[in-house]
Amino acid sequence: MAKQAQRTAEKNNKQTVAGLTSRQQQILELMQQGKVNKEIARDLDISLGTVKQHLVAIFKKLNVQNRTMAVARLAEFKDQSGFSAAFANETLIARRPAIVLSLKTNGRLPRTALKLFHTRLAEVAFDSQALFMSREPGDGDLIFGLKRSSAQDIRTAILVADYLFQSMSEFVREKLGDPNSDQILTGALVAGLITVSQNRFGGWSGETVGSHVLTWGHELRDNADTGSIYFDEPVKSVMKAFDITLPDGMPNQLPLNQVKQLNTWDQEENFPLIGREKELAEIQALLDDDFSILIIEGENGMGKSRLCRESARLAVERTMPLHYVRVVSAGFFESVRGLYAESWIELIGLLPEEPNGLVIIDDAHHLSADEKTQLTAYLTEKRHQAKFILCGRQPQQYEFADNLFPFCRKVHLQRMESDQIEQLVSTAPAADNTVGFSDIVERSRGIPLFAKELMLQEGNEISLALLITVASRIDKFKVDWKLLYCVAGHEGAVSVDQLAALMRDDSAYIVAAVERAESLGVLHYEAGQASFRHPLVQDVVRYLFQPNNNSVNSVSGYL
């Protein structure tokens, strides 16, 4: 009876996790201790069949497939305080690469206009997973990258600036009768590192945010010409890295009514397409009517959009009607004609009906499941009238009907060979850096973006583009950042016992977390020792989490 009473008291005192009952949480914690089903049944004085029934329910509620994944999920809810002064409970005090769009209204606008301005900022913040901050009516900051790092953050920020400008200008012109609607907003776009309270598994925790980058953005915004937006040098370096058009001799300021030109597909400065002969052959075959639909997929930094732009140029050379569409994660679409659409159906209505044209849908992985269904129906209807390129992050999966498969091909962008990376970087103007040529080839690990950024970097600094790319991959994988920080803090491999002591966590969770990171290609795990698979990723993680007194240079693209 005493044992039963003790179990009942423990049951009542436990906090449930993710909708689990107290009994299911008891079973999950015993699993974390490494106990098998028979041991769990014995400890809880229940039948083996009851344990199995609870396991089925636990896996379903946690949306996992096995015991290891369930144990890893439990760790997300555990108290992790005491690790370091830089950590607090489930959050880490860390730095994240971020893009800040700072805007203010000009003149004395009525309350209705100010309300619309703040409503629009809040709406786009929600759609793009940005953080909206405002000090007073008539100004506001959107911080991209805190909740989820993405290589699209800079493109989304530019698109949002144009969208807000158009929206406010239309309101002021039509509702208020103000002919100077082009002068209604002034802004700045800046980039840098922001110190935040970060969740262990990625993204801002919602508690702390602070950085001189915000102050820098306000200063540039307040000194910009009325109706213009100021671009600092770090932002321009990120734009260049992610192939966003920079007009010849682009000044630091640009009128807001010209911002849309930055998102066009026709980027003038392109690295040569090296090592992509197979993919180019498939593009040529598509344009030659060998088939109708080409799917291009690959990981971040592999040059997918670069291939899309090359496809567009080839189509223009053949005088083919071209429709270049970019899917933006902010919940709407942007086309080469500067038109925005908030749904796939609306976007289809914007596409002209010229026959024998080429439709390029870049960043198609941002399409929702319903939008992909609408897309496949559209492709089925139009496959004889136009050619299509669907480009996005791997894997690209579409529910094509059987009669559509003969018209479709797929290319997967592999990492480049060392000789191809050598050829690629040899074509780029090198910055005055201390990174040797062979080191660039080794550290890039076959990823073109890494090679280009390493080639252009100054000294031993890490570019914002690399920080954004690496952070976005880790955020997407939902790997434990605290684990990565602990591993990155060591020059060599770290044992599970060392990690357990350092993280104040049990070995069962550490093993599960390390194995997950290994399965995703982030860590290497052998003989109970964990180390980073990629030295550049280790450098990035170490830089983001190691406290130091260095400030971000607000006029440089490197940190």
pLDDT(321) > 90: no
How does residue 121 score in pLDDT terms, banded at 50, 70 and 90? very high
Predicted pLDDT at 139:
92
- pLDDT mean over 502-517: 86
Predicted pLDDT at 237:
87
Residue 222 near residue 156 (C-beta atoms within 8 A): no
CATH assignment of 277-412, among 3.40.50.300, 3.20.190.10, 3.40.1160.10, 3.40.50.12500: 3.40.50.300
Cα-based distances in Å from 296 to 344, 412, 424, 517: 20, 6, 21, 26
What is the C-alpha to C-alpha distance for residues 326 and 338, in angstroms, rounded to an integer? Answer: 11
Q: What is the mean pLDDT of the chain?
A: 79
At the top level of CATH, which class does the domain 2-75 belong to? mainly alpha
Predicted pLDDT at 340:
57
Position 353, amino acid: E
pLDDT(332) > 70: no
At the top level of CATH, which class does the domain 88-262 belong to? alpha beta
pLDDT(246) > 80: no
Name 413's Cβ contacts closer than 8 Å, sequence gap at least 6. Answer: 276, 279, 296, 297, 298, 299, 302, 303, 304, 307
Predicted pLDDT at 42:
86
Find which of 39-43, 134-138, 345-349, 513-517 is predicted with most confidence, using mean pLDDT. Answer: 513-517
Higher pLDDT, 210 or 238: 238
How does residue 137 score in pLDDT terms, banded at 50, 70 and 90? confident
Query: pLDDT tens digits for 403-428?
Result: 777 888 999 988 888 888 888 777 76
How does residue 396 score in pLDDT terms, banded at 50, 70 and 90? confident
Closest to 464 (Cα-Cα) out of 388, 558, 342: 558
Predicted pLDDT at 175:
79
Residue 144, classed as helix, strand or coil, is: strand
Predicted pLDDT at 317:
92
Query: pLDDT tens digits for 426-453?
Result: 776 554 444 567 778 888 888 888 888 8
pLDDT(331) > 60: no
Residue 380 near residue 401 (C-beta atoms within 8 A): yes
How does residue 350 score in pLDDT terms, banded at 50, 70 and 90? low
Query: pLDDT tens digits for 363-378?
Result: 888 887 888 888 888 8
Q: Would you list the DSSP string of 515-551? A: HHHHHTTSEEEETTEEEES-HHHHHHHHHHHS---PP
Predicted pLDDT at 529:
93
pLDDT(1) > 70: no
Predicted pLDDT at 459:
63
What is the C-alpha to C-alpha distance for residues 457 and 435, in angstroms, rounded to an integer? Answer: 8
Sign of CA dihedral 124, 127, 133, 135: positive
Predicted pLDDT at 433:
47
Predicted pLDDT at 92:
76
- pLDDT mean over 372-394: 83
Query: pLDDT tens digits for 269-308?
Result: 556 678 888 999 999 999 998 888 999 998 888 888 889 9
Query: pLDDT tens digits for 57-115?
Result: 888 777 777 776 676 666 545 433 333 443 334 567 788 899 999 999 987 788 888 99
Q: Where are the domains of the chain?
A: 2-75, 88-262, 277-412
pLDDT(356) > 90: no
What is the C-alpha to C-alpha distance for residues 422 and 427, in angstroms, rounded to an integer? Answer: 9
How does residue 242 score in pLDDT terms, banded at 50, 70 and 90? confident
What is the C-alpha to C-alpha distance for residues 394 and 402, in angstroms, rounded to an integer? Answer: 22
Closest to 125 (Cα-Cα) out of 105, 106, 104, 146: 146
What is the percentage of the chain residues whose pLDDT exceeds 90?
19
How does residue 9 score in pLDDT terms, banded at 50, 70 and 90? very low
45, exposed or middle or buried, with CB in 10 Å at 0-12, 13-18, 19+? exposed
- pLDDT mean over 191-212: 81
pLDDT(141) > 90: yes
* Residue written as token pair 């480009």: 391
